[in-house]
Chains A and B, each alone.
Chain A
Amino acid sequence: MTMQTQALPRTGMGTGSRKALLLGGGLLLALAAPFLLYPVFLMKVLCFALFACAFNLLIGFAGLLSFGHAAFFGSAAYIAAHTVKVWNWAPEFGLIAATAVAGLMGLVFGLIAIRRQGIYFAMITLALSQMVFFLALQLPFTHGEDGIQGVPHGTLFGLFDLNQPLTMYYAVLAIFVGGFALIWRTVHSPFGQVLKAIRENEPRAVSLGYRTDRYKLVAFVLSASLAGLAGGTKALVFQLASLTDVTWQMSGEVVLMTLLGGMGTLFGPVIGAALVVTLESYLASTSLPVPVVIGCIFVVCVLVFRRGIVGEIVARSGRGRKPS
């Protein structure tokens, strides 16, 4: 059948090999990066990049705008910090616990919020995450304004001493690559196809026999778990879990990163996160007010290139007729 080859999705060959090339290049760069830049800075970028990718899985591929993702990120940070510091768990188990708790919270949030759409969905997730913020402020184990400080780095799998910045960096890189690979696979899976169909036209997906709420719930739990993995990792890297990570500003920041980089593109959130983190660290040493500068950049971005940086590049290269 000659039809068979003709019918393969266009991403199968042309853009696919380009993407693989890009991916390989990116990975090489990431491997070499700690010899050029501060590992701590890079790890921060990776944590936020994973967070943004997790968020993007929801908004970009299921069309759900969550405005409460900080709840998963921040709670997971507390869980990782507490289990590792107070209960002396190994870092890998701390991360598993953090991811699992975030996933469970995602299940609860999802069950409540997914019946609603658009702005109502966003508002419910915001309200729930504000409740989580209040809990984080009041519960004894989170230590209120102080947060959980001095979380030991420990030894990963009993083999890798995370007190070595380079070892820690490569561990974080491995976590990021794993999370990113899972998102990549999810987007390019039978499940991802249904998810995109729901994003494109939910009533039509329903009329084809898909119980769309269940698909959205699975996507929500996946996204929350990965956001949790990012939060837990961040707590281990910075040896700190604090209220900053559960605030609504953090939920807003991840929206900003994703939109800036390009919603619904796989690499967009990574670029967006890198950009925002870089700006924040750079501006911190100047007298410029950080939120104002980032706000201005955001406004300009939305006005000038609505698709985000990567979205715009893909669209202008002409091959971007498929957004994924």
Chain B
Amino acid sequence: MTMNGTIILEARGLSKEFGGFVAVRDVNLQVRRGTIHALIGPNGAGKSTVFNLLTKFLTPTRGQILYKGRDITRTKPADIALMGLVRSFQISAVFPHLSVLENVRVALQRPLGTSFHFWKSESSLYDLHDRALELIEAVNLSPWANHLAAELPYGRKRALEIATTLALDPEVMLLDEPLAGMGHEDIEGTADLIKRVAADRTVLMVEHNLSVVAHLSDTITVLRRGEILAEGPYEVVSKNPQVMEAYMGTGHA
């Protein structure tokens, strides 16, 4: 962790327009290595757009994205994954009709270099099972290893998604509303999980509510109408009068 605190992911003057509508306006964002950084904002604040821009699922109208100092503004989404920048999705992104084990194994198998080998037996992938089961164990899904992902309850799908993301051993994990739609009992566990996996990597997460990320993140960036409203640790951001106004009635519930 010698490099802790240096900037790993950066957005400079990021803007995205859809037709005439400006969804994101001139966003400057710096994510520091080894931290948990939360991007929050009310509905329509543009946080998902920013997230999709950073993960290359959208192309910015203007601005630049730098990852470890390299310009990745024009890099393809599959390629940034290979560079160590791996995202999750708002709606739980599992492969429903693959087993939990296969879900994780798909993420593990790419480095074998046999992913185009249609003539090879699936048993050539069995060597990956130990590692896959370790990851499944880490998110407390061991009893479910042979179940179809579709059979898991919502909270466990999110856990599986995190295990699959971890399989790529990413330097930066980008989590799109990892706690959304979860019951209280799941939120606690998943928040702990995020904290645990963030121990030796960087996490950038999008969330809706300020209170949810309060004790989880080192830095919070608040977006409103496509622009950055405030940034800093929870203690600072939560006392910002503009933030309080934006969140009136919801944020401090």
Q: Which residues of A does B touch, CB under 8 Å?
A: 1, 3-4, 6-10, 182, 185-186, 188-194, 196-197, 200-201, 203-212, 214-215, 218, 222, 321-323
Contact = CB atoms under 8 A, between A and B. Distances in A.
A209 B167 CA distance: 12
A149 to B, nearest CB: 37
A3 B137 CA distance: 11
A193 B168 contact: no
Given A9-B99, A201-B93, A206-B77, A185 B106 contact: no
Nearest to B84: A209
Nearest to A5: B129
Given A6-B145, A194-B106, A185 B119 contact: yes
Nearest to B147: A321
A190 B97 contact: no
Contact of A222 (B107, B109, B118): B118
Interface in B3-50: none
A96 to B, nearest CB: 18
Contact of B101 (A7, A206, A207): A7
B120 interface: yes
B130 A204 contact: no
B101 A9 contact: yes
9 contacts: A7-B101, A10-B99, A10-B146, A191-B116, A193-B106, A201-B94, A207-B78, A208-B110, A209-B79
Contacts of A212: 78
Interface in B92-119: 93-99, 101-102, 105-107, 109-110, 112, 114-119
B98 A209 contact: no
B129 A322 contact: no
Contacts of A208: 81, 86, 106-107, 110, 164, 168
Given A3-B133, A209-B78, A209-B81, A204 B95 contact: yes
B138 interface: no
A206 B55 CA distance: 11
Contact of A190 (B57, B95, B99, B120): B120
Interface of B: 55, 57, 76-79, 81-82, 86-89, 93-99, 101-102, 105-107, 109-110, 112, 114-122, 124-126, 129-130, 132-133, 145-146, 148, 151, 164, 168
Contact of A189 (B81, B82, B110, B119): B119
Contacts of A322: 97, 99, 148
Given A189-B119, A321-B151, A207 B82 contact: no
Given A10-B146, A197-B98, A215-B116, 10 more contacts: A7-B132, A10-B99, A182-B119, A190-B124, A191-B117, A191-B120, A192-B122, A193-B106, A201-B94, A321-B151
A189 B118 CA distance: 5
Nearest to A213: B78
B214 to A, nearest CB: 28
B102 A9 contact: yes
A203 B106 contact: no
Contacts of A210: 78, 110, 115
Contacts of A214: 116
Residue of B118, B121, B168 contacting most chain A CB atoms (<10 Å)? B118
B149 to A, nearest CB: 8
A209 B165 CA distance: 11
Given A196-B95, A207-B77, A211-B78, A190 B117 contact: yes
B145 A189 contact: no
Contacts of B77: 206-207
B116 A9 contact: no
Contacts of B89: 203-204, 207
A188 B77 CA distance: 27
B9 to A, nearest CB: 16
Contact of A188 (B88, B101, B121): B121
A185 B121 contact: yes
Given A6-B146, A7-B129, A211-B76, A193 B101 contact: no
A182 B109 CA distance: 21
Given A201-B95, A222-B118, A321-B151, A209 B82 contact: yes
